[in-house]
Amino acid sequence: MLNKNFKYTVIALILFGLSGCNQRTIVLHPGENGAQPQRTQPVIKSPEIKEEILINQNPNLGNPIDVPTNNPLLGQAVGDYNDSNHYQEENITEEPVVENGVIERISFPIDEYKYIKKTGGSTVSGSIYVENSHNAEKIMGKKVKLYLNPVTSYSRQWYQESYLGGYKMSKSDNRLYNYLKYTVSNSNGKFNFFGLASGNYYLVGTITCGQECGYSETKTVLLVQEIFVGNGVTNVNLMKHVP
């Protein structure tokens, strides 16, 4: 019996020793209230960004540009053609070249005129006259020549600088006359244009008069009006108050 107990004791000691050699100790550091531990990610600092461009203080920006302050046309949008081939005016922003009191015309804008239709089915009808500002008398333009000039950057320069500004212009490009429409008024000052394409035009005519217009001598009065020609008949009176 003693040998049997001794035998069992030896076996137990051997087993206990083997289990002691294989045991691993794991130490956990739980968070508050027994929460599971969390791994801490390394903190990556973003690079510091410095503002390098300082208005009016950065020497790398170059010299300032002089911008004219007396040009009312500066910065206005440039027009284009719409689906009906109706040209919307294109403003002139460059300073005109003046030599010996004559303004040089801009280059003939072929790209604009190639969109202008020379014929159509519209009509312009009206009367041409001047009105004396003193007595309201109407002096009709009898048997006078009138013409229609399509509105483009080329004709707009003439309207602004010559008609409104009073400057003389250099000779116009001969290609312009392919797009002008002419007519003559009757003895009552009435006129008609036929076969026009719709669009914007300058209607131009002249009347020569003297004392009946309030002048001390005979003068030729230039009359210009921008009109829009739509479908059908457009009625318009070309008139001006004098003197």
User: 199 vs 29, 74, 87, 203, CA distance in Å?
Assistant: 87, 25, 7, 12
pLDDT digits (tens, 9 = 90+) for 91-135: 434 556 777 789 999 999 999 999 999 999 999 999 999 999 999
pLDDT at position 229: 98
Check residues 68 and 133 and name the one with the higher pLDDT: 133
The single-letter DSSP state of residue 115 is: T
> CA 149 to CA 87: how far, in whole Å?
13
- 2 in helix, strand or coil? helix
Mean pLDDT, rounded, of the chain: 77
Residue 232 is predicted with a pLDDT of 96
Q: Which one-letter amino acid corresponds to residue 179? A: Y
Name the residue with higher pLDDT: 73 or 162. 162
| Cα distances (angstroms) measured from residue 118 to each of 53, 114, 181, 215 | 55, 10, 9, 39
**pLDDT at 97 (0 to 100):** 72
Residue 171 has pLDDT above 50, yes or no: yes
Cβ 213 vs Cβ 224: under 8 Å: no
Share of the chain above pLDDT 70, in %: 60
Q: Which two tokens stand for residue 55?
A: 């208005």
10 Å Cβ neighbour count for 152?
23
Q: Is the pLDDT of residue 207 over 80?
A: yes
CATH superfamily placement of domain 118-155+172-242? Carboxypeptidase-like, regulatory domain (2.60.40.1120)
Which has more confidence, 78 or 34?
Answer: 34
Write down the pLDDT at residue 174: 97
Helix, strand, or coil (residue 9): helix
The full length of the chain comes to 243
How large is the average pLDDT for residues 58-77?
46
Domain ranges of the chain: 118-155+172-242
Per-residue pLDDT tens digits for 4-28:
555 566 565 555 554 545 555 444 4
Mean pLDDT of 25-38: 50
Given this model, what pLDDT does residue 180 score? 98
CA distance 124 to 145: 15
Looking at the predicted structure, is the pLDDT value of residue 42 above 50?
yes
CA angle 200, 201, 202 (to 5 degrees): 140
